[in-house]
Amino acid sequence: MPTSVRLEAPAKLNLGLAILSQRPDGYHDLLSVFQAITWADTVEVASIDEGIHVGCSDPGLPTGRENLVWQAADLVRRSFRISSGVDIRVDKRIPAGAGLAGGSSDAAATMRGLARLWDIPAGDEAWLTLCAQIGSDVPFFWKGGTAIVEGRGERVTPLRERGSLAFVVAVPPVQVSTAWAYRQVSPPFPAASAYRRRVEALRRGEMNLSEFCRRLENTFQHVVEQHYPVVRDVRESLLASGATSALMSGSGSAVFGVFDSDDRARSAAQSVEETVGGRAMGTVVRVCRTAQPPTDGSRA
Report the catalytic residues.
Answer: 12, 137
- Distance, CA of 48 to CA of 222 (rounded, Å): 48
Nearer CB in complex with ligand C5P: 137/233: 137
CB 72 within 8 A of CB 105: no
250: left (phi over 0), alpha (psi -120 to 50) or beta: left
CB 34 within 8 A of CB 12: yes
Nearer CB in complex with ligand C5P: 90/165: 90
Pairing mode, strands 85-91 and 52-56: parallel
Binding site for ligand C5P (CB under 6 A): 27-28, 30, 135-137, 152-153, 178-179, 182
Question: Min. distance of Cβ 164 from ligand C5P in angstroms?
Answer: 28
Nearer CB in complex with ligand C5P: 150/262: 150
Question: Min. distance of Cβ 97 from ligand C5P in angstroms?
Answer: 12
Question: Min. distance of Cβ 70 from ligand C5P in angstroms?
Answer: 15
Question: Min. distance of Cβ 257 from ligand C5P in angstroms?
Answer: 25
- Distance, CA of 265 to CA of 36 (rounded, Å): 17
Question: Min. distance of Cβ 153 from ligand C5P in angstroms?
Answer: 5
CB 70 within 8 A of CB 110: no
Nearer CB in complex with ligand C5P: 182/256: 182
Please, is 188 exposed, middle or buried when counting C-beta atoms within 10 Å of its C-beta (0-12, 13-18, 19+)?
A: exposed
**273 CA to centre of own chain:** 23
Question: Min. distance of Cβ 23 from ligand C5P in angstroms?
Answer: 7
Nearer CB in complex with ligand C5P: 42/184: 184
**196 CA to centre of own chain:** 20
Nearer CB in complex with ligand C5P: 152/289: 152
Residue nearest to ligand C5P (CB): 136
Could you tell me which of 257, 287, 282, 254 has the C-alpha nearest to residue 270? 287
